Amino acid sequence: MHIVKPARPRDAARKYDIITALGAYALARDKHDQRLVLRLITLITARYNWARDELAVGQREIARLWSVDERTVKREMAKLRGKGWLVVKRQGARGRVTEYGMDLDRMLAMTEGDWSNVGPDFDLRMSGKTEETPVVSLPLKGDVPPPDVSAGTEWVLAQAILHAEAPDVYGSWLRNLERVGRAGGRLTLKAPSRFHGTYVQTHLARRVLAACQAVDSDVTDVGIVV
């Protein structure tokens, strides 16, 4: 299966996606793997330079961050290299710490089996799968008017994009989604029924997220509630 390589490591959305993939992978495994991945996530969040693909931290500092001794750090870093997630870019020497990079392709390949646990929208986004079933438009009377964008929220602006792209799909499935709220990068929308929400989540999640990110790049996820 083709896996989409994160093309823009500086993009905050991709950072969250990678960390989410690691978390989902860990939670599907035993406590030892969970602890290892938690330590990696903490190290990435605190010290990884996404722009340069560089992790340059001394063992003593990692030990303090993880609340362990340096022997544990050596063992855990060896495990991460063994998985192929961390790659030595420059070996440490006197007065210089070892520099690591992350093999994102390897990381995503190993976590792929757990993407669906996050949700179908995440699975589609990460794998680059196409929506196999075409979206069915409902019978509509007359032309579908564009949304009123005077409120200026990310959702009404995204709706304007979705209307311009496909008025019939917008009129059938997207104009009745109401903005519930926003928590960080997660936007929550309310569907008029469970069937409606499930249909949008299954068939239109990627399209909705792309439209939201087009008007607000800080949106990393869109949730549908009833």
Q: What is the pLDDT of residues 86-113, one digit of tens each?
A: 999 988 777 789 999 999 999 999 999 9
- Positive or negative, the CA dihedral 107, 113, 116, 121 is positive
pLDDT for the residue numbered 188:
94
pLDDT for the residue numbered 125:
76
Q: pTM, whole model, 2 decimals? A: 0.56
How far, in Å, are 32, 44, 68, 99, 218 from residue 38 at the CA level? 10, 10, 13, 20, 24
- Our CA dihedral for 167, 170, 176, 177, rounded to 10 degrees, sits at -150
Q: What is the CA radius of gyration of the chain?
A: 21
pLDDT for the residue numbered 177:
94
- Residues of the chain below pLDDT 70: 1-13, 128-142
C-beta separation of 197 from 225 below 8 A = yes
C-beta separation of 158 from 212 below 8 A = yes
- Our CA dihedral for 122, 126, 130, 132, rounded to 10 degrees, sits at -50
What end-to-end distance do the CA atoms of the chain give, in Å?
Answer: 34
DSSP at 113: G
Q: Of 99, 118, 129, nearest to 19 (Cα)?
A: 118
What is the token pair recorded at 56?
Answer: 């340059």
Sequence-ordered alpha helix ranges (H) in 97-146: 104-111, 120-127
pLDDT for the residue numbered 111:
94
pLDDT for the residue numbered 138:
61
pLDDT for the residue numbered 4:
43
**For strand 99-102 and strand 55-56, is the pairing parallel, antiparallel, or unpaired?**
antiparallel
DSSP at 141: S
C-beta separation of 163 from 147 below 8 A = yes
Walk me through the domains of the chain, giving residue ranges and CATH numbers.
12-127 (1.10.10.10), 154-225 (3.30.300.180)
The residue to which tokens 């993009």 are assigned: 11
